[in-house]
Structures are given as structure tokens and as C-alpha cells.
Chains A and B, each alone.
Chain A
């Protein structure tokens, strides 16, 4: 009996701890900077991951944990958490104008809730710092041409001779005043907009940009106890409308922006079902999604199977045929889709050109302009992309069907077609059904082909910007959540995603039950 020889003992242990040490150092730095930046969720998550890794590899955790730990960390962070987050978001009003937290929203509403004084007093200013390093401004009133000096303590008039002016007559020097350089200004950026020089009567001088300030009064104030915003000028009270915004209690149309993301479960789901402008496109998109996935599987499988049967015999040139015919599977699909898109181009596409040359059509067809032709193109291109895969799996399955079965059928007097219909095909479908269902699920979420080929268009066909004639659920969700920055609706998109979760998960579970492949576990 020999001892097991390998990378063991001290060097192995040393290597293990060296790797762990590096992970811990990098992770520790990351955690401390996350906490320093105030991102406690992120810091906490990292800390949890780091503790988990250390527990697994230092303290004799069960062996399977050692094998699964790295994958689990990534899986949790970038798949499970996003899924949970999606579920949570679907219960929120979370859209353009309602993306920040309530406290941030109140802060911004107050910052915007200022009003100019009646005469619209404005100042040309030079922004700088005083002797104490605090912000100060030298100002020239545009109304009466008087000069004054604004500090965080208040505004005092400047007498003639106390200041120097620049070429436009704006005061730019005074005792103890240092103007900000343009470098400093660009570094400060928007920070200068929050500077407020108090005037004394409740109003203040607010900076508009580096050379201009206006006299403002704080109009809206927040009453934390009653959770209302009160306008000093009109006396109106703005109350939380329970839907992510403060609205005027007397006039619900008077909404303060921005709003915040607010729990509104189950409004997003109800909207999908009841709001006609959302429901109709959603239903149409859903029907087309199912049709598209079904037709894609049907056409690719039919052609792939036909090819598999045709090449099931050792005919001459089979190897070359095979190598050419699986090319669509090997070429990066995003490229082939873009190429097809160019070929179907109305004016310059080669397809219209060939059809005209052959005399089949007399003028260019706008393939992507009509829903029907656009959908046809999608199916044709998906056939090109997908039949090689179906061919490969069908020919694999054909070889797995014992030849005796066909011979037995032939002896019983069946024609080749009958033998195929009644013996081979049912067996084939049985073997391949999990893969066909997987293919259906894949096409159900086949974002690439829709987005790259038609962009979901024609756009006007169903509901303009949001849903086009060839949009499937996933491209519709993308359109809703991401693509248009002025009307993003994460909440609604998440609700649509949830809907897709349920369908795809249901399909997969059903196919898991149906196949025996899991019984061996």
C-alpha cells in the first residue's frame, strides 16, 4: 500500500492561508470604504460574504460547502438578490419622478420651495471666501446698483471706496475677501447652489450660478410632526397623498416634485389588468410572445428534424454538409441578426433587390413597417439561427432510437413514412421534450433577436413608445424600465418581470416533473 502523494502538508496549507489573507485584506478594505461612504447595506453584504468564506475555509465547515461557497456568493449577490429586489420593486411606485427616498424628496422639495421677492431683485456677484475661509460674495444689485457684501452672517452694504470692481463694474475685491478661482469653482460644481446668505427678514440671497444671485424667500417649510409642507405665501398645506407625492390638500392637481418611491402594492399589478392604456398593449405583447416562442420552436424543430432525417444515412458529402449547416450556430448571433436586419432594409437591402430582379415584386417592400411582415422576418431569422441546434439534437436523438424498432415496423408492413410517423416521431418527441420546452423558455425571453432585428417595431403598431408590433414581454419590460430616460417605470417593469418569472418557472417545473431526468438524483 502506498501513501497518497500530492500537493499536501505545509506548502498546501500555506498557499490556502495566503489566498485567504489576500481575500481578507482586499475585502476588509472594501468593507471599510463602503461603511465610510455610508453604504451600510453594501458594506454589510460584503462583511457577510467575507465571514462566510472564512468560516468555510478555516473552520472545518462541511465539505460540500467548500465546493459550493464561491459559486453561492456570486449567485446570491447577482442573481438571488436582484430577483428579490425585483419582487420588492414591483410593489413600489418607482418611476421617473419617484426614484429617491422620502427624506431626500422632502429635502429637494424644500430646496425648490423658494420664491423670489416681488420686485425680482437680482445681483451680479463675485463669489469668494472671507478671512475665516467661509463663503462670501460681493454683490451689485441689478435693481438699484448698490454694492453689498454677503456673508453667512448677513448682508451689509459696501460704501464707495471699500471695494474694487472688475471690467463690468461688479465688485470683486474687498478687505479680507479672496475670490474663488475658476478651478475652485469647477471643483465645487453644484455645491455653490446650496449657499444661502441670510438677509435678516427671513429671506436670503441664493446663488443661481457663479456670477448671479437672487433674493429669495423660503416659501415651503416642512412640519415633521404632522408630515405636511406649508407654503408661507399662500398658506396652502401639502399632504402626503399616499402615492409618493405631496399634494395640495385643497387641490389634488397641485403636486410638488420630486416625489419618492412609495409602497403601492398591488397597484402595479392592478394597473396591468385594469388600466386600458397598459392592459391592451400588455395583452397584445403577451399573445405575440407566446406565438413567437411557439412558432420559433415549431419552425426550427421541423426544419432541424427534416435535416436530421435527411442526413441520417451516410450519404456522400455528409461531413461537409454538416460543417456548413451548423455555421449559424457558430457565428456570434448578434452579428447575424444585425446582418439580417441590413438585408431586409427597405431601400438598400439585398432581399428587396433580389426579389425585384427575379420579378416577384415590383417595388421595395418595407419589411419592418408592417407588423405582419416584421413578425414574419423575425420568425425567418430565428429559423436561420435556430435550426442547426435542432438538427444537432434531433440527429443525436435519432441515433439513440434502436434500429430494431424501425425494422419491426417494416416487417409489419409499415411504409417508411408510417414507421416514421408512428414509431420514430413519438419516441423522438419523448426524448427531446425537455429540450424543446427549454427552447420555448429561451425564446420566450429571447431579447436579442427582437431588440437587434426590429427594436420591437413597428413602433406605432400597438402603443407607440412603449410597445411595438414585434415587442415580446422582455423587450417591453426593457422599454418600460430602462430605455427612455424621461419616462422610466421600474415598478411596472418589475411587475411585468414577475409575470414572466411565474410563466417560465412554471414551465420549467412542469417539464422537470414530466422528465425522468431528475429521478436519478
Chain B
């Protein structure tokens, strides 16, 4: 009891913030299972519990919800996998190989990384318009073009995240393989890659979540309702008519968040490690 009293302020802080955290989540859950039709956004308790909001998502042709999910999954997984492959190779080079321009290179990468690619949005818009003239599948309005633009930022972010990790793998492993006659490429694919697989998976997950959340490029690129990603689709859907589309929107948000939250919580230890690795070295 005494320890509880001494820790009372700790619990109070936690509880106040939990209320703050949970409030919108609670509202979304209540909204998604209330079936009063339109004006449900202001109810604190569910009215007429039912699944209407969920069924409408999959049966209303004006809400291509399943296409949105499919598009988002395609964009996010392709981006995650390819960008981790690109980033891991670059990070390995910066961590292990000695070459001129290495220090300048990693600093330049960091600088480029802090420029979100959409800062050059107007330029990307024009460039992708040019590409569209020749290759419609990879230009403005196409998923292929969107993924290409996402991949542009891949090397910067992932190389930076992964370099710290690679630095922590003892270099002796590489050296002994080299002594045994392995080429740098073989060391990379046969020694480093299997060792790093779990970390690469986490970085891929972070990249997946990042792409999942990306809004501005996707909204500039994908104009056709069928080709939108979840972020753009749900925004356009709920944008104008908050009150009318609120229920289905809440249901859609729940469906889309649950798998992500589940994955995130299950690997949170690694993600937290990745976040702090760069800073807490002392």
C-alpha cells in the first residue's frame, strides 16, 4: 500500500494520458458499430449496434474499399521490399567498405533524407507528366509511377537506419570469410544478409507503415477513384460529407488499423531499439 501511495503520481500520469489516448479510439469503435445512419459522430455510447457500416464498405460500388486496400498493400509491400534491398546494400557499403567519398556520401544522404521528397512536389509532378507521355504505366496517375517515386527516397532513410545496426555486427565475421576466399558480394549475401534478416524485417515494416501513411504524393498522383490508396480514398470519402460518411469511415479505419497495430505491438521491442540506437550511443 505504501509503495502504491508513493507511486500514485506515476499511475495518475499514466491514467490521464491513457484517457487522452483511448478517447478517439473509443469514439471510432462506437461510431463503427452504431447504425443510426447519418448523425452519429456526437454519440458517446453506441446506438442500435449493428454491422451496417462494415457491410456498406464492401457492397457500395461508389466506395471501392477493397481496391483501396489492394492498392495500398501493393504500393506498401513493393516499396518496403525493394527499398530495404536497396537500403541494406547501401548501408553495408557505407559501414564496411572503405572508399573515397564515403563520409561525404553518408552526410549527403542524411541531408537528402531530411528533405521529404514531396518538397520537390511541383517538380515531380511535371517530371512524371513527361514520363506519362511515353510510358503511361509509370507516369502520372499510375501505381507504378508512385512506387518509383517512393523508391527515390529509399536509400537515404533505410541506409541511415541500417548503418547503425551493421556497425554493431563484429567485423571479424566478414574478415574470416574474406580470408577463406569469399568476395565482398559473397560476404554480403551469405554472411551479412542472413544475420541481418530480423532487422531488415523491422526496417521493412517501418517502410511499409510509412508508405501506408503517405498522403500527399498519392493524392497528387492517383486521381482515378479505383486507383487510390486507403489514405487518399478515405480522405476523399469522408472529406466533404463528414456526417453522412462518418460511420463507414470509422469502420474502414478500424479494419485498416487493426492488422497494423497488431504487427506493431508484436515487434515493438525491436522498433523501439531501432529508434533509440542512433541517439543513445552516448
Residues of A participating in the B interface, judged by any CB pair closer than 8 Å = 1-4, 6-8, 30, 33-34, 37, 39, 41-42, 62-64, 66-68, 70-72, 74-75, 77-83, 85-86, 89, 303, 306-307, 310-311, 313, 315-317, 321, 323-336, 338-343, 345, 347-350, 352-354, 384, 387-389, 392-393, 396-397, 399-400, 431-432, 434-435, 438, 441, 445, 447-448, 451-452, 474, 477-478, 481-482, 490, 493-494, 497, 500-501, 504-505, 507-509, 512, 517-518, 521
Contacts and interface: CB of A to CB of B under 8 A. Distances in A.
Nearest to A387: B17
Contact of B121 (A323, A326, A478, A504): A478
Interface stretch (B57-65, B195-203, B270-278): B270-278
A89 B123 contact: yes
Contacts of B212: 332
B134 A79 contact: no
A208 B10 CA distance: 78
A313 B10 contact: yes
B120 A521 contact: no
Contact of B215 (A62, A451, A505): A451
A313 B3 CA distance: 11
B170 interface: no
Interface in B244-282: 246, 249-250, 253, 256-257, 260-261, 264-265, 268, 272, 275-276, 278-282
A349 B7 contact: no
A431 B279 contact: yes
Given A85-B120, A323-B265, A517-B278, 15 more contacts: A3-B181, A71-B159, A74-B155, A77-B152, A82-B120, A89-B122, A316-B4, A325-B14, A334-B213, A384-B20, A431-B282, A435-B279, A482-B122, A497-B120, A509-B111
Nearest to A69: B89
Contact of B238 (A64, A330, A342, A490): A342
Contacts of B115: 79, 83, 501, 504-505
A203 B186 CA distance: 75
B153 A79 contact: yes
A451 B159 CA distance: 29
A330 B120 contact: no
Contacts of A432: 279
Q: What is the interface of chain B mostly: helix, strand, loop, or mixed?
A: helix
B151 interface: yes
A62 B184 CA distance: 11
B279 A500 contact: no
Contacts of B234: 334-335, 338
Contacts of B1: none
Nearest to A518: B107
B152 to A, nearest CB: 3
A339 B186 contact: no
A272 to B, nearest CB: 15
Contact of B257 (A332, A384, A438, A441): A332
A117 B151 CA distance: 57
Q: What are the 5 closest A-B residue pairs judged by CB atoms, nearest first?
A: A78-B152, A71-B155, A396-B276, A82-B120, A67-B93
A447 B220 CA distance: 13
Nearest to B182: A4
Nearest to B265: A323
A457 to B, nearest CB: 13
A1 B118 CA distance: 54
B215 A448 contact: yes
Contact of A67 (B90, B154, B190, B261): B90
Contact of A79 (B92, B156, B230, B279): B156
A339 B216 contact: no
Contact of B7 (A315, A345, A388): A315
A77 B150 CA distance: 11
B42 A348 contact: yes
Contact of B114 (A62, A332, A435, A505): A505
B74 interface: no
B179 to A, nearest CB: 9
B134 A37 contact: yes
A332 to B, nearest CB: 5
Of the candidates B41, B154, B189, B234, the one having the most CB atoms from chain A within 10 angstroms of its own CB is B41
B117 A3 contact: no
A328 B213 CA distance: 13
A384 B24 contact: yes
Given A6-B190, A517-B281, A339 B250 contact: yes
Contacts of A353: 42-44
Given A339-B250, A512-B110, A82 B238 contact: no
B114 A310 contact: no
7 contacts: A64-B102, A77-B148, A313-B10, A325-B18, A335-B257, A501-B119, A517-B278
